[in-house]
């Protein structure tokens, strides 16, 4: 189906409250069908193969010693006792790593940043609590950990800094004095128009400082790696829990000073990634190094206590946001100067940069400036996490939109409606240069308002019979999905492309094997890829088998992140499917003595009128080269690479209804309604699952999660599941999801990425709802998470202010 035709037939809007959107009727489980996920059978039967399930014979286990101080020099390190402990096979320190490896590369550097060499083990100074400084390999994990107790290490604690802005103050301890004079990694201003002039003529300016909490993604499967080395074959095979097998292979080759062809990386099943498993970590290098040196398989599985300090954290930032408007509430300009916390090192994906790209949101704002500053602090490095800057900036902007409404006496729904870009204004280039492709932003907001009975709720007033106060919070947003192109990425120094690639191969059973380097992290690529292939090719969905995450069998690709997989892969799958389909039809037509145009592939056969030949027969003929036209080459296989021309912008709106106790700050999120558009949905049930899953993480970050560091000691004080409050199923507020399907004009099939958008609205919608309920007290929340404690404090603050003369 050509995309134009598909776009024309795509349902304009499907709304559903609890049940997933009704799928349009299609053939063969193609686009739009909510077919059962291909991944489910094995996962539900306990037949998944995660890295820890890989159990080679004679495998050794690795344990890693970590610095207990936020900033310390290794004064003395003696590992002789550890090395001679029972069952210990090898101990590496920073000196061994320096001698044998090169630094682990940064995949997505901060533009303008000085490179900070990062080795798998620290050899002199550790810059965060949890940084590895020794690795021990033994016959079992507990022997390796016992040997860690025997490592004789003496630390010289150095002055540390854990506050994001404090790190940029003069006199703050400098984390990397050899490379930098202070802790400011880079400063990236961008913008368009004349925001100064707009500010000068504004009737009103609202501004504040917003603190975004440091959180972590907590995948159910922690990181893990199994490295095996065959010296005679010079073959390093690495099973890892990673979102990017091909990128990890490149990083390992660099760091281990090996040839890429000597390394195979496999990620069979990955129990959640969320951005935390992008690129190589120290333990991946260390396990490989030990395996090569010992000539035995080496396994390392991160335990949960390690995970809290050894895997990247996310989000922490401080935004100074400003909105200028005229008397009617028309937004004239927005400015945002924000500082992201990078932690003690530049992780492979470092500072979240999408706060800049979408800072003006879905509003008609042409004058704006945004500046990202990146600060080093003595904390676990920050990396990518679902949303990558977008939930952060959304909280700051949307809190101010509500404040603007109050200041001008305009209803916040009305104020948003006045400023949202309309469909005929798209495509629109925002001040950061982002091109919003298409959409109907006002409709998404209107649907949400209607679903919660906005007018009725407003008319009913705030005060309830039980004394609690009702509040409604709205938020509208866009989400960038995918990358514009490799040219765009090159400008930012990124060390990966924007493309995806697939190899499709017909087999003699009449099925198709589809190979992709995208690993299966819960985002259902096997399902979606098979649906897209079936749509174009004509074969039944069930007959497509997707093999994912193995660098040995898949074409070089980019990986599973940035909601980019589908956008890029859709093009590659389409091209490869068309090539295979056309050749299949040519061979069939020759055998059936008809013209290829008279034939279609339908399920498991090639059909032309009443006649049909099984696909298995045609494919076998092609594979063995017997019974094919004289001018056809044998084989039925295609590889395709596709780079999207532009990013696609998903969008949506959300509303939260809360009831707040103004004495205690306790509150309940009674309703949460979200309208969401990711263009044409390939599998509505999968989309629903992705949005709901991201919402759960969004609620966690909005309502409870926060990694806290003690300012005085620099110690992470809540690094365990006992102390870090991640929501359980019972904690997630009831969610009502609505969808629109405005096809994207810039992608194949009109799709947009999906997977991250749910993380964006919870903080803003709930924060706005609470402040709406407490408007009479003048409460304005500027920090995440929104907890009863935070509300109680804000109430105390507001009361004290009112009592003051």
Partner 1 sequence: VKVQQSFSIDQPRDRVWEFLLNIPDVARCVPGVEEVEVIDDEHSRVRLTQAVGPMSATFDLKMRITERVEHERLQFTASGKAVKGAAGTVRTINTVSLDDDGDGTRVALDADMAMGGVLGSIGQKVIAKQATGVTTEFAAALERALNGETRAEPTPPSTDGAEVPSPAPGGVRRSRHQIAAPTGGRDGPAASREPWHQDPRVTGLAGLSAGLVVALTIALRRR
Applying CB under 8 A, which residues contact partner 1?
Answer: 65-69, 129-130, 142, 145-146, 148-149, 303, 305, 308-309, 664, 708-713, 715-720, 722-723, 783, 789, 792-793
Contacts of 589 (CB under 8 A, 6+ apart): 595, 596, 598, 599, 608
Q: Residue 590's CB: how many other CB atoms inside 10 A?
A: 18
CA distance linking residue 81 with residue 405, whole number of Å: 67
Do 284 and 233 meet the contact criterion of CB atoms below 8 Å apart? no
CA distance linking residue 290 with residue 638, whole number of Å: 38
User: Tokens 């917003």 — which residue?
Assistant: 210
Considering the complex, what minimum distance in angstroms separates the CB of residue 79 from partner 1? 13
CA distance linking residue 799 with residue 717, whole number of Å: 31
Do 652 and 387 meet the contact criterion of CB atoms below 8 Å apart? no
Considering the complex, what minimum distance in angstroms separates the CB of residue 342 from partner 1? 20
CA distance linking residue 671 with residue 668, whole number of Å: 9
Could you tell me the two tokens for 189? Answer: 């201003």
Nearer to partner 1, 156 or 328 (CB): 156
Considering the complex, what minimum distance in angstroms separates the CB of residue 702 from partner 1? 16
Considering the complex, what minimum distance in angstroms separates the CB of residue 711 from partner 1? 5
User: What is the arrangement of strands in the sheet containing 60-66, beginning at the earlier edge strand?
Assistant: 88-93, 132-138, 60-66, 298-301, 224-230, 235-240, 263-266
CA distance linking residue 677 with residue 21, whole number of Å: 12
DSSP H helical ranges for 65-154 = 80-83, 94-100, 141-149
Could you tell me the two tokens for 791? Answer: 């509300």
Q: What angle do CA 469, 474, 480 make, to 5 degrees?
A: 150
User: Count of H helices and E strands in the chain?
Assistant: 21, 29
Nearer to partner 1, 508 or 797 (CB): 797
Nearer to partner 1, 17 or 664 (CB): 664
Considering the complex, what minimum distance in angstroms separates the CB of residue 298 from partner 1? 19
Nearer to partner 1, 149 or 611 (CB): 149
Nearer to partner 1, 507 or 715 (CB): 715
Nearer to partner 1, 65 or 571 (CB): 65
Residue 26 burial (10 A CB sphere; 0-12, 13-18, 19+): middle
Nearer to partner 1, 724 or 777 (CB): 724
DSSP SS3 for 508: coil
Half-sphere exposure of 714 (CA within 13 A, CB side): 27
CA distance linking residue 36 with residue 17, whole number of Å: 21
Nearer to partner 1, 497 or 785 (CB): 785
Nearer to partner 1, 364 or 708 (CB): 708
Nearer to partner 1, 52 or 129 (CB): 129
What are the DSSP E strand ranges found in 114-214? 125-126, 132-138, 152-157, 184-192, 204-212
Considering the complex, what minimum distance in angstroms separates the CB of residue 392 from partner 1? 17
Considering the complex, what minimum distance in angstroms separates the CB of residue 714 from partner 1? 9
Nearer to partner 1, 139 or 145 (CB): 145
Least Cα distance to 321 among 312, 334, 302 occurs for 334
Nearer to partner 1, 130 or 272 (CB): 130
Considering the complex, what minimum distance in angstroms separates the CB of residue 502 from partner 1? 43
Considering the complex, what minimum distance in angstroms separates the CB of residue 387 from partner 1? 22
Nearer to partner 1, 142 or 327 (CB): 142
Considering the complex, what minimum distance in angstroms separates the CB of residue 715 from partner 1? 4
Considering the complex, what minimum distance in angstroms separates the CB of residue 141 from partner 1? 9
Could you tell me the two tokens for 303? Answer: 């335990």
Considering the complex, what minimum distance in angstroms separates the CB of residue 69 from partner 1? 6
Nearer to partner 1, 27 or 142 (CB): 142
Considering the complex, what minimum distance in angstroms separates the CB of residue 795 from partner 1? 12
Considering the complex, what minimum distance in angstroms separates the CB of residue 175 from partner 1? 18
Residue 29 burial (10 A CB sphere; 0-12, 13-18, 19+): buried
What's the distance, Cα to Cα, between the start and end of the chain in Å? 71
The CB-based long-range contact list for 717-721 (8 Å cut-off, 24+ gap) reads: 719/305, 719/308, 719/309, 720/304, 720/305, 720/308, 721/304
Could you tell me the two tokens for 646? Answer: 């532009």
What are the DSSP E strand ranges found in 389-468? 428-429, 435-436
CA distance linking residue 136 with residue 252, whole number of Å: 20
Could you tell me the two tokens for 530? Answer: 């098979």
């Amino acid at each position: 189906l050509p995309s134009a035709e598909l776009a024309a037939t795509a349902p304009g809007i499907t709304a559903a409250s609890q049940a997933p959107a009704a799928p349009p009727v299609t053939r063969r489980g193609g686009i739009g069908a909510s077919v059962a996920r291909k991944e489910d059978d094995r996962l539900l039967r306990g037949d998944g193969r995660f890295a820890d399930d890989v159990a080679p014979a004679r495998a050794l286990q690795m344990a890693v010693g970590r610095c207990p101080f936020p900033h310390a020099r290794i004064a003395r390190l003696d590992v002789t006792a550890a090395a001679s402990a029972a069952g210990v096979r090898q101990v590496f320190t920073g000196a061994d790593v320096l001698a044998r490896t090169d630094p682990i590369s940064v995949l997505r550097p901060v533009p303008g940043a000085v490179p900070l060499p990062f080795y798998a083990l620290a050899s002199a100074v550790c810059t965060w609590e949890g940084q590895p400084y020794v690795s021990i390999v033994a016959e079992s994990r507990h022997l390796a950990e016992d040997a860690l107790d025997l490592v004789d290490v003496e630390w010289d604690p150095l002055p540390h800094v854990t506050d994001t802005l404090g790190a940029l103050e003069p006199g703050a301890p400098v984390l990397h004095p050899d490379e930098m004079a202070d802790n400011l990694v880079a400063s990236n201003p961008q913008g368009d128009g004349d925001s100064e002039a707009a500010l000068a003529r504004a009737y009103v300016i609202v501004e504040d400082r917003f603190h975004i909490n440091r959180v972590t993604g907590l995948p159910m499967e922690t990181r893990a790696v199994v490295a095996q080395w065959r010296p005679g074959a010079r073959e390093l095979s690495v099973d890892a829990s990673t979102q990017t097998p091909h990128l990890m292979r490149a990083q390992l080759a660099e760091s281990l000073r090996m040839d890429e062809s000597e390394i195979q990386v496999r990620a069979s099943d990955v129990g959640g990634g969320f951005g935390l498993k992008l690129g190589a970590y120290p333990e991946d290098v260390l396990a490989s190094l030990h395996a090569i040196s010992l000539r035995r398989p080496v396994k390392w599985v991160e335990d949960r206590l390690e995970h809290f300090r050894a895997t990247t954290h996310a989000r922490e930032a401080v935004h100074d946001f400003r909105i200028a408007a005229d008397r009617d509430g028309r937004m004239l300009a927005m400015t945002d100067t924000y500082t992201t916390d990078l932690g003690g090192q530049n992780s492979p994906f470092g500072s979240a940069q999408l706060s800049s790209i979408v800072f003006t949101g879905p509003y008609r704002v042409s004058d704006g400036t945004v500046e990202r500053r990146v600060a080093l602090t003595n904390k676990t490095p920050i990396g990518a996490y679902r949303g990558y800057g977008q939930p952060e900036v959304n909280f700051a902007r949307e809190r101010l939109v509500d404040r603007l409404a109050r200041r001008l006496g305009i209803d916040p729904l009305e104020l948003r409606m006045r400023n949202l870009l309309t469909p005929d204004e798209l495509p629109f280039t925002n001040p950061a240069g982002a091109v919003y492709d298409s959409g109907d932003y006002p409709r998404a907001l209107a649907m949400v308002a209607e679903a919660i009975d906005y007018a009725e709720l407003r008319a009913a007033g705030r005060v309830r019979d039980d004394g609690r106060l009702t509040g409604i919070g709205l938020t509208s947003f866009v989400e960038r999905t995918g990358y514009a192109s490799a040219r765009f990425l090159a400008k930012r120094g990124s060390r990966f492309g924007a493309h995806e690639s697939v190899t499709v191969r017909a087999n003699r059973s009449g099925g198709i094997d589809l190979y992709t380097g995208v690993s299966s992290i819960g985002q259902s690529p096997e399902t979606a890829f098979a649906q897209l292939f079936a749509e174009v090719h004509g074969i039944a969905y069930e007959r497509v088998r997707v093999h994912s995450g193995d660098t040995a069998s898949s074409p070089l690709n980019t990986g599973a992140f940035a909601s980019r997989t589908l956008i890029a892969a859709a093009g590659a799958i389409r091209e490869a499917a068309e090539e295979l389909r056309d050749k299949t039809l040519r061979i069939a037509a020759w055998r059936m003595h008809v013209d290829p145009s008279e034939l279609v592939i339908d399920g498991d056969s090639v059909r032309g009128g009443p006649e049909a030949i099984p696909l298995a027969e045609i494919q076998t003929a092609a594979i063995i080269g017997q019974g094919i036209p004289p001018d056809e080459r044998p084989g039925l296989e295609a590889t395709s690479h596709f780079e999207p021309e532009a990013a696609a912008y998903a969008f949506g709106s959300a509303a939260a209804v809360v009831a707040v106790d103004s004495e205690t700050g306790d509150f309940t999120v009674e309703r949460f309604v979200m309208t969401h558009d990711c263009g044409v949905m390939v599998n509505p049930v999968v989309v629903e699952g992705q949005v709901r899953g991201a919402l759960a993480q969004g609620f966690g970050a909005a309502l409870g999660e926060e990694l806290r560091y003690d300012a005085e000691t620099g110690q992470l004080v809540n690094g365990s599941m006992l102390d870090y409050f991640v929501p359980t199923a019972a904690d997630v507020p009831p969610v009502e999801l609505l969808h629109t399907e405005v096809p994207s004009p810039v992608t194949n099939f009109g799709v947009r990425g999906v997977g991250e958008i749910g993380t964006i609205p919870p903080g803003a919608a709930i924060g706005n709802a609470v402040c709406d309920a407490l408007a009479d007290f003048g409460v304005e929340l500027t920090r995440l998470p929104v907890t009863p404690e935070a509300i109680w404090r804000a109430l105390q603050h507001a009361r004290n202010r009112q009592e003051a003369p």
